[in-house]
A and B are shown apart, each in its own frame.
Chain A
Amino acid sequence: MAFEIPKVKYTGQIREVVIGSGSKAVKVGGAGCYPFYLFEGEMPNPPRVAFEVWDSAPEEWQEWAIEPFRDVINDPVLWAKKCIESYGAEMIVLQLKSADPNGDNRPVEDVVEVVKNVAAAIDVPLLVWGTANDEKDAELLRRITEVSEGGNVAVGPVSDKNYKQIGAMAIGYKQVVIASSPIDVNLAKQLNILLTNLGVNEDKILMDPTTGGLGYGLEYTYSVMERDRMAALTQEDAKLQFPIICNSAPEVWKTRETRLTKEDDPKLGDEKRRSVLMEAVTAMTLLVAGADIVVMRHPDSVSLVKDMIGELCA
């Protein structure tokens, strides 16, 4: 008898979720096997990279992170367009940093205006990432689901504290919600149950397991995502069969290792190359753990990651 490689028996499948509308809408999820285990099953929709755009000029970005966007960094609309036109972005994550009550605390309507303008200017799917402040987001993201009616945008992070307010509006305006939980399988599952009980359609949910950057708790996220996927694919846990999104860019780029220059510490080598690799390795790791969307910043790291996805899916 010929030798046969043992295979994992899958009993579940990740749901497919469509984000955006029109010809550039993107479908994610659908996998019937562990990430890139194409010898055991299928991944009908390859994982995607989303470019991040901030809603106002970032103040603390490294020189080498600003460089690719220097001409557009003061204008979120132009910034988003440049990502699409120059760097081939397939989705845009608009990070509503300026609304953060611990920062500029910009009023809701001002921020909503920015979202409206960006949404109108781009044709790729838009994902809107709030402040992670439960109260502010409840107000802000509700308004955003409203003004982007018909766009099928994804809004998040939605927590167990504000899922009712945001979830109800997302149902009404047919948007996708990003269910965010603090690195725990059970908490992720609980939030998904709460959202579906509220009436959110099962093809309108993305999961955000909360991520840390490389060297800053990434391994913790990794094992939780791994367990999410094991439960979803091999233990028929229907409440975990949702695509995963990782908002990794802000985590990577705030680490000390992406901030120190070669002059600060010659042992660490060239800062740009180092930062790009830090971001690429973080994203690749998350993809191997089961991410369907990774949020990234630098075009060079995006290109490395896209190469990897292409090769692993070939």
Chain B
Amino acid sequence: MPQEYRIKFLPSDRVFPAERGDNLLEIAMQAGVHINASCGGRGVCGKCRVRIAGGSVESSGNPLLSDDDRAMGFRLACSSSITEDAVVEIPLESQIDRSILARSATLTDANVSAADELLTRLYGREPLVARYNCELPKPDANDNISDAARVARAVSVRAGCGEPAFPLGILRELSIDLREADWSITADVAPDTCEITRVARGNRESAHYAVAVDIGTTTVTAELIDCLASSAGSMVLASSTDYNGQISYGEDVISRIMYCRKRRGLTKLHDVIMSTINALISDIVPDAKVDAADITHIVAAGNTTMMHLFYGIDPRHIMLAPYTPAATAFSPSGVRGLGFMPGLDARLYSVPGVSSYVGGDIVSGVALSGMTEKGGISLFMDIGTNGEIVLGNNEWLLCASCSAGPAFEGGGIGFGMRAAPGAIEKVRINQATLEPMILTIGRVRPLGICGSGLIDLVAELFIGGIIDRNGRFSLQKQGIRLREGPNGMEYVLCFASETGTERDITLTEIDLDNIMRTKAAVYAGCSVLLQNGGIGFTDLDSVIIAGGFGHSIDIEKAIIIGLLPQLPVDRFRFMGNASLGGARTAAVSRGFFAKTADIARSMTNIELSENAQFMNEFMAAMFLPHTDDRAFPEVIDALKAGRE
């Protein structure tokens, strides 16, 4: 038997056994220790830096690791293998901190509850699964119909849906349940199929709860909803957010789909997402002092790939032309067999999607945004790893998805990171001295730059003339802050002594290229949709920005870099996690859930991946702010004023 070594991870002190030759990143994954690894362990992203604090590992050299780093004991986990007992320190930048996620969730509630209120008034407040207490008359010689018919008789009066159907599982228990409960029972009824989903003993009508889950590629949020709450404001009893456990298997949907093609890959990813969701539910249920058995239904929303993985359906054809998903709508079902925690016996609903890259999360957000209630035209954008865009009003809807790239979530950017404590979120630069002023989330020592920080940084560099209109650094401004780095020119935002990572935090021209590509893809996607709708940006009534990214960005800075169109600031509206909001509203409003299906059906999807018009618009947008000056008159004026 091969010798077993002990690998200890700091700061969690977790110890995990390993054998000679095992890959360190894989061991960390098995041990449940998170290490940033955006490239999936290919040794190209350089993010899985760890420090070997004791023992040693065998590690191939990598150009992403400098000699100094190596001397200090840093190695890339993905290209290190076990040779003996070792102590591995996970650097700060790799440690996940959940506090930011919780913070964003609170912001969301404030934004969305007004919309919830309005929509539930419009679509009624009848939960997707109804709960009725029935005091049944005891059978006697005159009234000796079957137990099931007795329950059905009582339920159909309350539910108004005709003769309800009984699943076999319930029938098998029914006779005992009725008698043990002395003919006082509570029946959960799904009105869509008029099916009894559960029979509970006693009167539990006053305890009626639902769970809304948003399954994002990066984060997953669950909320516990009181179906009997009198107002939208008091509806959410508890909420919890965590990173999607699948992150360790790839940062974007494509790498997840790739992972599914490995042996047992699909099962693994399904198990991981279920354990993330179960952990969230176990978080919120005791928080609100609710019995999990009183959760009658769950409403999930997520992008098409996430929904496939959630239901355990092979998603591989999503990434192969002509991009056909196995399904975009998933019929309501019981939760059995999906891997939900024991004790939960609810009915599962999912918000339907449109296509491979426009999923139920977008439909859910669009429904919640109210854009389909108005005659005025709105543009709905969800800027994440995929930029999804929807254009339309109460009569028509066009949607598209552009692979914007993960730049604004920290991917592909040397010092990019998600919006978590230590992420630089605001930047101002003194144009004369090039000295920056930065603010980090949580006001701690900086670890990296998140999306809003990147937008600020690029806008400031551009307005200050430190980068020119094609995103290259100006050679004239070279100094301590602007210098020649290993990958060409770079701007030093923080020197190593000021950071929490012992490395200078810089922005390189390669980073700038990636940001330009991302912003160009988003803008080009919007342009193409507008052209297909036969309208211009100025015809827009409102621009709705959804997604975790959209909480704190500075609209004006986003206009300066040409990510958002130049429109009066009051036309922009942030929605936060609109997907979750839609799922929550659907949970308490049958009418609203039906509306999401209408919306999904009526959206016309424009495929951008092989669209010549998109490529042309994309090239036009690969410039600051844009090749067409006429679209950004104020930015151009500001630039001219700056030069004079």
Q: Which residues of A are in contact with B by a Cβ distance under 8 Å? A: 160, 164, 184-187, 189-190, 193-194, 197, 239
B residues within 8 A CB of A187?
619
Check if A186 sits within 8 Å of B468, measured CB to CB.
Answer: no
What 4 A-B pairs have minimum CB-CB distances, sorted nearest first? A186-B619, A186-B620, A186-B627, A190-B623
Say how far B67's CB is from chain A's closest CB, in angstroms: 27
A residues within 8 A CB of B616?
185-186
Say how far A215's CB is from chain B's closest CB, in angstroms: 22
Check if A160 sits within 8 Å of B620, measured CB to CB.
Answer: no
A residues within 8 A CB of B472?
160
Asked if B469 is an interface residue, CB under 8 A from chain A, the answer is yes
Q: Which residues of B are in contact with A by a Cβ distance under 8 Å? A: 468-470, 472, 475, 616, 619-620, 622-623, 627, 629
Asked whether A190 and B468 contact (CB < 8 A) given A164-B475, A185-B616, the answer is no
Check if A194 sits within 8 Å of B619, measured CB to CB.
Answer: no
Whole-angstrom CA separation of A194 from B471 in the bound complex: 11
B residues within 8 A CB of A189?
620, 627
A residues within 8 A CB of B470?
160, 190, 194
A-B contact pairs, 9 of them (CB 8 A): A160-B472, A186-B619, A186-B620, A186-B623, A187-B619, A189-B627, A190-B469, A190-B622, A193-B627
Whole-angstrom CA separation of A185 from B616 in the bound complex: 8
Tell me which of A185, A194, A239 contacts B468 (CB under 8 A): A194
Tell me which of A160, A164, A190, A197 contacts B627 (CB under 8 A): A190
Q: Max chain B CB contacts within 10 Å: which of A185, A186, A190, A193?
A: A186
A residues within 8 A CB of B622?
186, 190
Whole-angstrom CA separation of A194 from B629 in the bound complex: 12
Whole-angstrom CA separation of A7 from B623 in the bound complex: 35
Say how far B615's CB is from chain A's closest CB, in angstroms: 9
A residues within 8 A CB of B620?
186, 189
Whole-angstrom CA separation of A239 from B629 in the bound complex: 10
Say how far B631's CB is from chain A's closest CB, in angstroms: 12
A residues within 8 A CB of B619?
184-187
A residues within 8 A CB of B627?
186, 189-190, 193
Asked whether A197 and B469 contact (CB < 8 A) given A185-B616, A186-B622, the answer is yes
Whole-angstrom CA separation of A197 from B639 in the bound complex: 10
Say how far A105's CB is from chain B's closest CB, in angstroms: 23
Say how far A214's CB is from chain B's closest CB, in angstroms: 24
A residues within 8 A CB of B468?
194, 197
B residues within 8 A CB of A186?
616, 619-620, 622-623, 627
16 additional contacts, CB 8 Å, given A160-B470, A190-B470, A197-B468? A160-B472, A184-B619, A185-B619, A186-B616, A186-B619, A186-B622, A186-B623, A186-B627, A187-B619, A189-B627, A190-B469, A190-B622, A190-B623, A190-B627, A193-B623, A194-B469
Whole-angstrom CA separation of A164 from B620 in the bound complex: 21
Whole-angstrom CA separation of A184 from B620 in the bound complex: 10
Whole-angstrom CA separation of A170 from B545 in the bound complex: 46
B residues within 8 A CB of A164?
475
Closest A residue to B640 by CB, please name it.
A197
Whole-angstrom CA separation of A8 from B573 in the bound complex: 43
Closest A residue to B475 by CB, please name it.
A164
Whole-angstrom CA separation of A187 from B440 in the bound complex: 36
Say how far B644's CB is from chain A's closest CB, in angstroms: 12
Asked whether A193 and B475 contact (CB < 8 A) given A186-B622, A186-B627, the answer is no
Closest A residue to B468 by CB, please name it.
A194
Whole-angstrom CA separation of A239 from B470 in the bound complex: 15
Whole-angstrom CA separation of A190 from B520 in the bound complex: 14
Say how far A235's CB is from chain B's closest CB, in angstroms: 10
Whole-angstrom CA separation of A185 from B619 in the bound complex: 9
Say how far B165's CB is from chain A's closest CB, in angstroms: 60
Say how far A199's CB is from chain B's closest CB, in angstroms: 10
